[in-house]
Amino acid sequence: MNWLKISLIGVFFSLICVSCSTEVDIAAPKKETMAVYGILNPKENVQYIKVFKAFISSDTSALELAQDPNAIYYGEGELEIEITENTSNRKFIAKPILLDTVPGFGPLSDKDYFGFDGVFPQSPNRAYALNFTPKPGQTYSLRVTNVKTQYQVTAQTQTIANFSVRRPFSSTSSPWNWIIPTTSPIEWDKSPEAGIFDVRMALTSEVRDAAFVNILRTDVQTVSIIKAYRDKKFDFTKDFLFGAIAEAIDPLPTTEVRALQTVVVEVVAGNIDYERFINFNEAQNSVGSSQSLKVFTNIQGGVGLFASKTSAQTIPIKVTEQSVDTLACGKLTNTLRYATANNPSRNPNFPYCD
């Protein structure tokens, strides 16, 4: 999830860490401090945990330590990681894994999946995998133990239940109207466990040749609508929506034209631990540089974040012809080469739409 942007470099630099009601001085001499990041997702059948050493060295800069696998990773067999489903007492044991070998993980995976930004090694990119699918609305406990020193950290979080996107919805007789968006805002169920939301939209189009005769491929473009949002309903203006589309999508070459087919709206929800993490770090961003830097954590005995997220989306929906024509011809998006609704064979670029 993109809103979680905390650098673990802060862990190395920070003198004070806030852990619920406990302050942890990670600069204390000879004190082992573990940094743990795990985001449970009921939409996935494998969960991943990342664990780092957060030692302070007077001889080496934090930047150098962060990029040295031997300095930040625990050794093979050194950790035991266990997640327990509290209601059933089912236990799941983690196994070490190299994310370099997992399809879908790349240079941005740490930020997108685990919720932090950092200058840490991407190869080897070590983590721990647990093969289970969390149940919605359940509480899970995490325990990480250094088997050599018996140092242990724990955390607890709750997954999100009963989450769905309620609007927009469309039918053959009532497609989604982007020109008068107040008639159909984006709205979702805000379950008690959910606290913060990202909203995005996927536009699926046929890409055709300029003569609009041959279908060349299917084109899916993802547009970020809003991030770190707290409410359960988002009213947008026409210019806001078309501006977001213009920022996210690159134009096609003059030999190709997009014909919009359907739109899917997806809302990604973070639980209350996610929200507290964001709230704390937003507050810290406003603190003067001369003041102590604090890092939010719900990891007891260490630092980091154990939280959960989930997502829900609409079925593929149609938009009105007027919306399609504005996408093709409007001042914000006319360079993207979307075809108009009523005469898709003509050049979609403004001012030829008039």
At 132, list the tokens: 């289970």
Instruction: Give strand pairing partners of 130.
Output: 47
Distance from C-alpha of 227 to C-alpha of 1, rounded to nearest angstrom: 9
Cβ neighbours around 336 below 10 Å, total: 23
pLDDT of residue 26: 43
Tens digit of each residue's pLDDT (9 = 90 or more) over 19-30: 333 344 444 445
Q: With cut-offs at 50, 70 and 90, classify the pLDDT of residue 111.
A: low
pLDDT at 278 over 60: yes
Q: Are 324 and 338 in contact (CB under 8 A)?
A: yes
Cis ω for the linkage preceding 124 (within 30 of 0): yes
pLDDT at 79 over 50: yes
Give the C-alpha distances (Å, rounded to integers) separating 102 from 97, 127, 133, 157.
9, 11, 18, 26
**Arithmetic mean of pLDDT, 223-237:** 90
